[in-house]
């Protein structure tokens, strides 16, 4: 998932500190409600530690329970290799969510499913691993089941 729409209203804030716009807060809630409707609820979140990713998750997490969260600067504007390096090879979770920034989100999605997709703010890709996959980190080992966009909800 890419973070929701952020604000440029406060020029004194660093990029890392920028909050969400009102539209971004609403989009976060739309995505959370759709994930619940689809029964696609994460057990674990790996997220950038930026203000806008934390605020995106804070709005969403009001609708979830008992989600394990890991915020890290390592996911801030990271490329696919760095994202993969910072997530364990063995995951003991049914569903994980990675919350970050572009272009890393779009590039990571392309690495996982082998095709490029536009990732506007709050876009959320729902993926399933292919049956014959030996490692979740190998390129092209995932099927894109759905790409949720707030404007379509």
Residue (of 113, 106, 91, 111) closest to 42 by Cα position = 91
* Second CATH level (architecture) for the domain 27-152: 3-Layer(aba) Sandwich (3.40)
Check residue 66 and give its pLDDT: 87
- Please give the share of the chain, as a percent, with pLDDT higher than 70: 100
Q: Where are the alpha helices (DSSP H) in 17-149?
A: 22-37, 51-61, 80-85, 104-113
Is residue 72 scored above 80 in pLDDT? yes
Q: Where are the alpha helices (DSSP H) in the chain?
A: 22-37, 51-61, 80-85, 104-113
Give pTM, 2 decimals. Answer: 0.94
Mean pLDDT of the chain: 95
Instruction: List strands edge to edge, sheet with 96-99.
Output: 68-72, 44-48, 96-99
Domain boundaries, the chain: 27-152
What would the mean pLDDT of 1-26 be, rounded to a whole number? 97
Q: What is the pLDDT of residues 124-143, one digit of tens each?
A: 999 999 887 778 888 889 99
């Amino acid at each position: 998932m890419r973070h929701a729409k952020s604000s440029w209203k406060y020029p004194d804030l660093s990029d890392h500190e920028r909050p969400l716009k009102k539209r971004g807060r609403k989009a976060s809630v739309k995505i959370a409600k759709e994930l619940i409707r689809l029964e696609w609820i994460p057990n674990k979140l790996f997220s950038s530690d930026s203000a806008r990713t934390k605020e995106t998750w804070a709005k969403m997490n009001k609708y979830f329970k008992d989600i394990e969260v890991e915020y890290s600067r390592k996911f801030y504007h990271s490329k696919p290799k760095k994202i993969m390096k910072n997530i364990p090879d063995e995951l003991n979770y049914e569903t994980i969510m990675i919350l970050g920034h572009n272009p890393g989100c779009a590039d990571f999605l392309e690495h996982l499913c082998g095709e490029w997709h536009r990732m506007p703010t709050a876009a959320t890709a729902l993926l399933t691993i292919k049956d014959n996959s030996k490692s979740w980190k190998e390129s092209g080992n995932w099927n894109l089941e759905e790409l949720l966009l707030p404007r379509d909800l």
